[in-house]
A and B are shown apart, each in its own frame.
Chain A
């Protein structure tokens, strides 16, 4: 177990440093923020001067080493655009993203898994058809479109919910649904397949033969066995929710790190982007480790070795 943890830890560090390096190089090669910062009538000399004041005229490897040196001292640098520590900027936005991801996950799991169970156990029924339609819609409507549609219907026309921003609880409803829809479909489909798969197994027939109802078999035995693939998906979906948040946060003016990422990339605010990348890769690694641990908990046959 300790061996496993150490190995995973080393892998995680390599993965995160790799991602940081790639993003650093790609961002720097595609132009620095100086051109976006200066007023449009600035002369070439003025631009060169500001570039040198900001340190972007140094060779890229010097900037990189400087950056890594800062990281080892837990110094994430200053935002050149906002002149505030990059870490503070990201930290102030993080709670909003966590809120939204939690809301979306609630929609995804709360609707997706029951829908999957019903679709697997009531095959051929009208309910199954209705659910299938909902799942397909959730899967195929792009988030920017569903976001705008929701705002138009529930915000502008019916005036039930606020059109943008964070703050009141009601403001969370539309972005959570829009963001959670795709994951909801994924959960519903995976749950359905996993349960159908389990239902064809001998232990189910044995259980039914001993007089258990379908519901009893499903809830006592099948769900637990069907949960392994669903847990894997859940781990991946948390990452996807962070990625999907980029669009949803922009549409709903939700001040999370997705919106911040877009703004920082557009304004070439390198160090803020790096902190966000660091955070997202950390979340990815962490969720996959957590998923591994949950496997062991759910299925005692799985051992974490190597």
Chain B
């Protein structure tokens, strides 16, 4: 009796697993923290939203595996002069409704996102663009307000939307029922729950790798990991380093890592409080054991850096000398500055790893500084961190990526005086980064950023801690190489043969 039961159970199990296997063959399920906020690619720019909608749309330009900007909808581009650039557009691309993608749609997409009427939160990424004009059906001319070297890097983020369709259905309906020229079309958007996509068989780059793709909203990381281990999900992102081993050791799952352009950094207020004294800031730089943080808290999934930058970022210079871990020197500098026992306020929010904040607190208290941690919700944190220097705390941790792989996207917003994040002013630094964002000569730009990094090294308005390695948990048979800018294009994934 017992053996018969066991064999029945075995058959049932076998049936269950085969159906499960059959399902994973044509459906890829990805667990995200939240559902997309909008599917109109010109509205919200947050990770969960663009992870979904960038599979429905194509971009004007994209990056290859090495991070180089390469053609997508545009085939080539030439600078007519410093402020005018002409793009040639592919003529073999159709939208999912069968209509042809032309220069009209490209110009419309650019002009739409910079139109104040749309109230797009992404406007700041494109506001250097004056206008886009159609020259002929395969040519678009883009004019910028001034010479703007980051233009191409920004256009990597521009999705091309169909002019006729958007104008026909209106903005609100377009957000709910988006239609693009990308590899996947929307089947159903269960808002806040999941987004179901289906392959667009006539896609111009070839047939998409999966019949169906489902993005689910699973807020809790432990639950996402449970989903992955039970096969309910095939891919999850933002695996905490301490969970990496359990994903690696499971026979059904694998850990994928991507060395990103994201930099974990410590902001130091150079305009108010005890850290106004440069010696205190330098002491903090000496007091932090970056390698220790990488080894102990990140389980090795990161790389200590010398400045606020990392290898994939244009303008990053590995030769600029960083600060070595030297607590004695730190204690000396603090004594010299008369700041022994001074209290530093460390702003943070639940979005940042608490253990890291406490580790830094400990390292600083070891060299004679007292650190108070003020934790608030993200909105309040941002309000203080981006507000008046007097009220912006002394320290805060952040992990920065502009998804543009250019120093202009990181040290300019973080340290250029007048920027909301900068609590620091050095006219020489300002002049260097200002110049670097308005010239196109790459070697000259590199030289300017090297000088800018050297000033930051002296002034320490912030410390680069480590280059972030993105950790993904994936089903064993998923083939995919994560990229430096943390994008998730389903087109680049496939099942292993």
Contact = CB atoms under 8 A, between A and B. Distances in A.
- Residue from A156, A166, A265 with most neighbouring chain B CB atoms (10 Å): A156
Given A53-B116, A82-B38, A84-B175, 6 more contacts: A31-B379, A31-B383, A36-B382, A46-B124, A82-B37, A255-B217
Contact of A164 (B175, B218, B419): B218
Contacts of A165: 193-194, 216, 218, 232
Contact of A163 (B38, B43, B193, B227): B227
A43 B230 contact: no
Interface string A82-109: 1110000100110000000000000000
B191 A156 contact: no
B127 A46 contact: yes
Contacts of B193: 165-166, 255
A50 interface: yes
Contacts of B124: 38-39, 41-43, 46
B379 A30 contact: yes
A36 to B, nearest CB: 6
Contacts of A31: 379-380, 382-383
A253 B191 contact: no
Contacts of B420: 42-44, 47
Given A81-B37, A81-B44, A259-B219, A41 B409 contact: yes
Interface in B367-386: 377-380, 382-383, 386
Contacts of A35: 379, 382-383, 386
B419 A43 contact: yes
Interface in A244-259: 250-253, 255, 259
A151 B223 contact: yes
B192 interface: yes
A179 interface: no
Given A31-B380, A33-B379, A164 B223 contact: yes
A83 B413 CA distance: 28
Interface in A141-168: 148, 151-152, 155-156, 159, 162-166
Interface string B438-461: 000000000000000000000000
Contacts of B400: 40
14 contacts: A30-B379, A38-B121, A43-B418, A44-B418, A50-B119, A83-B175, A92-B192, A155-B226, A163-B230, A251-B223, A252-B223, A253-B216, A255-B193, A266-B377
Nearest to B349: A266
B232 A36 contact: no
* 6 A-B pairs with the lowest CB-CB distances in the bound complex, closest first: A42-B124, A253-B218, A46-B124, A31-B379, A41-B413, A163-B226
Contacts of A299: none
B427 interface: no
A4 B37 CA distance: 45
A189 interface: no
Given A39-B125, A41-B124, A250-B219, A89 B191 contact: yes
Contacts of B222: 148, 151, 251
A31 B172 CA distance: 26
Nearest to A55: B119
Interface residues of B, number: 53
B217 A253 contact: yes
Given A43-B124, A163-B230, A253 B377 contact: no
A264 B87 CA distance: 40
Interface residues of A, number: 51
A260 interface: yes
B261 to A, nearest CB: 13
B203 interface: no
A303 B347 CA distance: 57
A30 to B, nearest CB: 6
A261 to B, nearest CB: 11
A156 B230 contact: yes
Contacts of B43: 83
A93 B116 CA distance: 32
B132 to A, nearest CB: 19
Nearest to B118: A53
B169 interface: no
A10 to B, nearest CB: 35
A179 to B, nearest CB: 15
A263 interface: yes
B220 interface: yes
Contacts of B382: 31, 35-36
Nearest to B219: A250
B229 interface: yes
Contacts of A266: 377-379
A75 interface: no
Contacts of B232: 162-165
A219 B359 CA distance: 62
